[in-house]
Structures are given as C-alpha cells and as structure tokens.
Amino acid sequence: MYMNFMKQYKTIYHLQNYLNKQKSLGKSIGFVPTMGALHDGHLTLIRESNKHSDITLCSIFVNPTQFNNTEDLDKYPRTVEKDLEMLKGENCDAVFFPSVNVMYPPEQDNSFHIDFGQLDKVMEGAHRPGHFAGVAQVLKRFLDIINPSTMYMGQKDYQQVAIVKELLKQIQSPTQLAMVTTVREKDGLAMSSRNVRLTAKERKIAPLISKTLFDAQSKINTHSIVNIKKEALKQLDIPEFTVEYFEIADGDSLQAINDINQCSSAVACTAVHLGKVRLIDNVILK
Ligand code: AMP
C-alpha cells in the first residue's frame, strides 16, 4: 500500500531544515498559503503546485491581522485534522501550521507596511479596512521564512492576487505568482470556507451571485458597462442579499471602468452579505 509521509511543521526551525535540504537537492518549492477549512478550491491549488513544482508546501494559518471583523475571525471554520487528511490525499509534501506567536513573535517588531497606491482603495480594500495590510504582513513573513519558487493563489480572490503581485514587485522577491481559476460548486457558487456557515435556505439562494456575474460576462460585447452594472444590481436586489459592491474594473489597476475598450483586461467583482456570511466572487470579462 502507498504510504504518504506528509511532513508536518509547527516551528520555523524545523520547516527551514526541511526546505533547505530540498533546496540543496535542487528542488523547486511550490507554496500554497491557506487559512484551512480546506475545500476543492484549495486542493486545486495543491494539484497545480504538484504539477509544476518539485515540492508542495501548504500553510494553514488563520491570520488574525487580516480580519477587520472579530466575529468573522471567531466564527472562521477550523478543521485542521480533516485538512491534514485532505492534504495527504493530494500527496502534498509538507504542511506548515504555525501558531500566532510563531508567526508574530511578541518580542519582535512585526510591523510591515507597503503603499499599494490605488489598488487597496477600492472594492475589498475600501470595505475591509486593514485587510490587505494584514494579507501583505502575513505573506511577507511567509516569504521570508519559506522563499518559495512559486506561490499558488486563487482567482477567487482576484484583488488579493493583484495586491500580492505588487507586493512581490516592491520587495523584489524572486518568487513567481501563479493564479489558479476559481473552482465552483455544480450550481456555480464559488467554493469558499465560509459557505459552510450558510443555512440550507441561504445556500440555495447563494448561486444567484455567480449567475449575475456570468450574465454580466455574457453582455460585455453588446451592452454598456453602465447598463450591465445596473442590471446586475437589479438581479442582486433580493431581500436576502445586502450588496456591498458590484464593480467592473480594469483587470490590472482595479479601478472602475466605463468602457471595456479602455483597458486590456477587465474583471467584474462583487461582495454580498447573505445572512451572517459575506461572500465574494468575480469573473474575468476580458
Ligand atoms: P483562504 O483559505 O480563503 O485564504 O484561501 C487560500 C487560497 O485558496 C487563496 O489563494 C484563495 O484565493 C484560494 N481559493 C479559495 N477559494 C477558492 C476557489 N473556490 N477556487 C480557487 N481558489 C480558491
């Protein structure tokens, strides 16, 4: 029987011993940062890393500094044992699940600041103050510890990918960034760790979010952006939803656009509250 000896590390010292050994053997390190409560979206990132990197390292760390809402942090699903089994099933080579003190040692200055210009002033950045500062802080720490060849991240968090691209550029990191297409449930709902917090009734309604995005995508060459946005907001205007934003933006600068011909790539992004859960999704338009 095939035995999978997935390495499990909680300390930087032991993780780095392992990584240094692999690097000295000339192996490339693929890194998949996650907050756990794994689903098939995360596992797709693991599979991509397995395909393109010699060693796949997954981290599981619910980073407190990127939560702007304490209830969201408290209620964030934590399923480490199940996560480890899922990672073993994908032949992930190693997992790093540090404590908060390991990531942010109290005796150390853990502050880190980057000016993202307008990238973090819109959409998630505008609605979740401090969120991307926390994301940048934790990823800078992971990059310093791991120095992977490639980091794999999901399109599901499109703005996060843009932020991380900018982070890698500004810190002149040699790490490559690979964006992996959003994995969806059969009914179109983007997989998310937060989906388990939806009630059965809410779960039935939730696919209206992706449907609205795909409808917008289908109109991109025939309707004006103003019209598409108006129609999308109308579709999302049901009592169960509170729409935070529905935006059509330049795929690079993330600034809102009025004309699809104005940019070389474009994305439609939305954030919707459904019950106690905040859901985000996006589709690439161009
Ligand atoms: P999280 O655990 O939510 O921080 O996500 C960890 C990584 O998985 C991030 O790069 C996410 O963008 C990615 N991810 C989350 N959901 C999906 C999905 N449905 N499809 C693809 N990637 C995803």
pLDDT attached to residue 1: 47
Average pLDDT over residues 205-229: 97
Q: What is the mean pLDDT of residues 62-71?
A: 94
Quick one: average pLDDT of 6-29? 98
Residue 42 annotated among the catalytic residues of the structure: yes
Q: 189 alpha carbon to ligand 1 midpoint, in Å?
A: 13
- Give pLDDT, residue 15: 98
Tell me the CA–centroid distance for residue 42 and ligand 1, in Å: 5
- What does the pLDDT average to over 159-166? 98
pTM for the complete prediction?
A: 0.96
In the predicted model, is pLDDT for residue 3 greater than 70? no
Helix (H) or strand (E) holding 5: none
Q: Averaged over 228-248, what is the pLDDT?
A: 98
Residues 89-120 as b or e (16 or more Cβ within 10 Å = b): ebebbbbbbbeeebbbeeeeeeebebebeebb
What gap in Å lies between CA 86 and CA 159, rounded to an integer? 27
> Is the CB of residue 199 less than 8 Å from the CB of residue 275?
yes
Distance CA 161, CA 176 (A): 12
Higher pLDDT, 68 or 93: 93
pLDDT tens figures, 122-141: 999 999 999 999 999 999 99
pLDDT number for residue 211: 98
For the chain, give every domain's residue range: 7-180, 193-284
Buried b (16+ CB within 10 A) or exposed e, 250-283: bbeebeebeebeebeebbbbbbbebbebbbbbbb
Place of tokens 């002149």: 172
Give the three-state DSSP class for 110: coil
- Which residues does a 6 A CB cutoff place in the pocket of ligand 1? 34-35, 41-42, 44-45, 153-154, 156-157, 180, 182-183, 190-193
Tell the residue nearest (CA) to atom 19 of ligand 1: 191
Average pLDDT, the chain: 96
Task: Please report which confidence band the pLDDT of residue 262 belongs to, taking 50, 70 and 90 as the band edges.
Answer: confident
Strand pairing report for 266-274 and 241-250: antiparallel
Q: In this predicted structure, what is the pLDDT of residue 37?
A: 96
How far apart, in whole angstroms, are the C-alpha atoms of residue 33 and residue 138? 10
Active-site choice (42, 52, 127, 273): 42
Helices 131-146 and 12-24: crossing angle in degrees, nearest 10, is 60
Residue-level pLDDT at 220: 95
Cα(84) to centroid(ligand 1), Å: 16
Residue 198 has pLDDT above 60, yes or no: yes
The answer to whether domain 193-284 has CATH 3.30.1300.10 is yes
- CATH superfamily of domain region 7-180: HUPs (3.40.50.620)
Is a pLDDT exceeding 60 seen at residue 2?
Answer: no
Out of 2-16, 135-149, 200-214, 243-257, least confident range: 2-16
Q: Which of 238-242, 259-263, 269-273 has the lowest mean pLDDT?
A: 259-263
pLDDT value for 196: 94
- Asked if pLDDT for residue 255 goes beyond 90, the answer is yes
Confidence check: pLDDT of 4 > 90: no
DSSP codes joined into one string, 180-246: EPPPB-TTSPBP-GGGGGS-HHHHHHTTHHHHHHHHHHHTTTTS-HHHHHHHHHHHT-STTEEEEEE
Identify the helix (H) or strand (E) that includes residue 20: helix 12-24
Tokens of 124: 């998630």
Number of H helices, E strands in the chain: 11, 9
Torsion angle of C-alpha atoms 32, 33, 37, 41, degrees rounded to 10: -40
